[in-house]
């Protein structure tokens, strides 16, 4: 009577590591397409894993970097496009900083970054059909239909705070943690009445037209503002414990065709200072808003930070006012976002069917000179 041979125990990373004389961590990183592992080591690990039957044909990992057409050189080609004008208004600096970090990372990995502006989505899709592009890096929120169309032609990485869309990979700062950090720092300084000031831009030259976004898709509602996830974090903080905090959130709807930044900030400032009790600190969505707010406060006779403390997103050492007052707030250097993108792309190329990955970075606090220590 024949007996069924015992099933062999499932192979592990250690089996591969023992065969090659490397660590299990090296094997793990090689198979997932992450970390600073040489191409030769990644190749040996993949070959050994396939040889001993570590994964099935469905789970087979693809070569980490696709070969260039017409040659044997391995080279990653990424596209960071805009639809419209490459000059993205106030967001241009952050896009440029991200690109600097991305280019630096690609230099170490023998890769190329293409930055192009397309007049329409169809032009972008046509380029993806013609050229070898390993991944499209989106530095601004696009309508859901656009992201879906791009994803059918190329992997997509979101390099902005919109990782809720259509299963694409994303790298950005954790907005909830950033908001909590700002609140904690102001609370430590004795502030109990904190206001949050944001701008809802309409018809800005760096935004896609209103008609491109679907009124039936929640992701499009959030994407329509470049700071959708940031504002969501503010609202969560302000409403989570309404009996314990007094943190009003003021959003000013700014139509670029009819309303200047000065007018928008003046409206928000008026609404905030009509509140009782009056906030002692204001958190601004960005540097341009903070500078305009400080200017208007000083023109009205209020001193910053003695009378009103100001915190801002994007605070850095060069973020100063006209009188060289360094603005306090959250530092979120976009070059770090760009620096991580190639590793995310490598993972996607190595494992096309893998779950979408979202890397969330932590902001840091820049003390500056616009936070006043209250007596507690």
* pLDDT for 62 beyond 80: no
- Structural contact between residues 99 and 106, judged by C-beta atoms closer than 8 angstroms: no
Q: What backbone phi and psi angles, to 5 degrees, belong to 233?
A: -65, -40
- Best-predicted range by mean pLDDT among 43-47, 152-156, 271-275? 152-156
* pLDDT for 317 beyond 70: no
Return d(Cα 122, Cα 124) in angstroms, integer. 5
- Which helix (DSSP H) or strand (DSSP E) does residue 263 occupy? helix 261-273
* pLDDT for 246 beyond 80: no
Query: Which one is predicted more confidently, 74 or 173?
Result: 173
Q: Peptide bond before 24: cis, by omega within 30 degrees of 0?
A: no
276: Cβ contacts below 8 Å, ≥ 6 apart: none
Return d(Cα 182, Cα 174) in angstroms, integer. 13
pLDDT of residue 94: 67
Q: Mean pLDDT throughout 330-357? A: 88
- Average pLDDT over the chain, rounded to an integer: 83
Identify the DSSP state of 136: E
* pLDDT for 125 beyond 80: yes
Q: Mean pLDDT throughout 357-365? A: 92
Q: What backbone phi and psi angles, to 5 degrees, belong to 365?
A: -105, 130
Lowest mean pLDDT among 26-40, 295-309, 329-343: 26-40
pLDDT of residue 8: 44
Per-residue pLDDT of 257-282, as tens digits, reads 999 999 999 999 999 999 888 999 99
pLDDT of residue 361: 94
Q: What are the chain's domains?
A: 13-51 (no CATH), 76-173+335-361 (3.40.50.2300), 175-331 (3.40.50.2300)
Per-residue pLDDT of 180-190, as tens digits, reads 999 999 999 99
* pLDDT for 2 beyond 50: no
* pLDDT for 1 beyond 80: no
pLDDT of residue 331: 93
Return the structure tokens found at 60.
């087979």
* pLDDT for 322 beyond 60: no
Nearest to 306 by CA among 364, 238, 371, 261: 371
């Amino acid at each position: 009577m024949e007996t069924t041979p015992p099933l062999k125990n499932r192979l592990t990373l250690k089996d591969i590591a023992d065969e090659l004389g490397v660590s299990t961590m090296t094997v793990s990183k090689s198979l997932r397409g992450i970390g600073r592992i040489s191409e030769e080591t990644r190749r040996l690990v993949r070959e050994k894993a396939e040889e001993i039957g570590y994964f099935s044909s469905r789970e087979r990992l693809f070569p980490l970097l696709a070969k260039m057409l017409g040659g044997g050189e391995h080279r990653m080609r990424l596209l960071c496009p805009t639809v419209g004008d490459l000059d993205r208004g106030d967001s241009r600096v952050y896009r440029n900083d991200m690109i600097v970090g991305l280019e630096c990372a690609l230099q170490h990995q023998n890769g190329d970054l293409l930055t192009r502006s397309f007049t329409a989505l169809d032009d972008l899709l046509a380029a993806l059909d013609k050229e070898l592009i390993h991944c499209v890096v989106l530095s601004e929120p696009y309508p859901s239909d656009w992201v879906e169309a791009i994803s059918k032609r190329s992997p997509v990485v979101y390099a902005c705070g919109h990782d809720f869309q259509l299963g694409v990979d994303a790298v950005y700062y954790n907005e909830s943690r950033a908001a909590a950090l700002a609140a904690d720092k102001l609370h430590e300084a004795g502030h109990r009445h904190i206001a949050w000031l944001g701008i809802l831009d309409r018809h800005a030259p760096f935004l896609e037209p209103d008609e491109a976004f679907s009124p039936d898709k929640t992701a499009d509602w959030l994407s329509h503002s470049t700071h959708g996830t940031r504002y969501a974090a503010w609202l969560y903080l302000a409403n989570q414990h309404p009996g314990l905090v007094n943190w009003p959130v003021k959003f000013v709807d700014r139509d670029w065709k009819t309303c200047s930044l000065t007018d928008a900030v003046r409206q928000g400032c008026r609404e905030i200072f009509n509140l009782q009790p009056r906030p002692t600190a204001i958190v601004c969505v960005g540097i341009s808003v903070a500078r305009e707010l400080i200017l208007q406060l000083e023109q009205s006779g209020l001193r910053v930070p003695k009378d009103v403390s100001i915190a801002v997103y994007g605070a850095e050492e060069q973020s100063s006012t006209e009188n060289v007052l360094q603005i306090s707030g959250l530092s979120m250097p976009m070059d770090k976002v760009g620096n991580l993108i190639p590793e995310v792309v490598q993972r996607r190329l190595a494992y096309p069917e893998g779950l979408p990955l979202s890397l969330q970075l932590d902001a840091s606090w820049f003390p500056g000179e616009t936070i006043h220590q209250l007596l507690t």
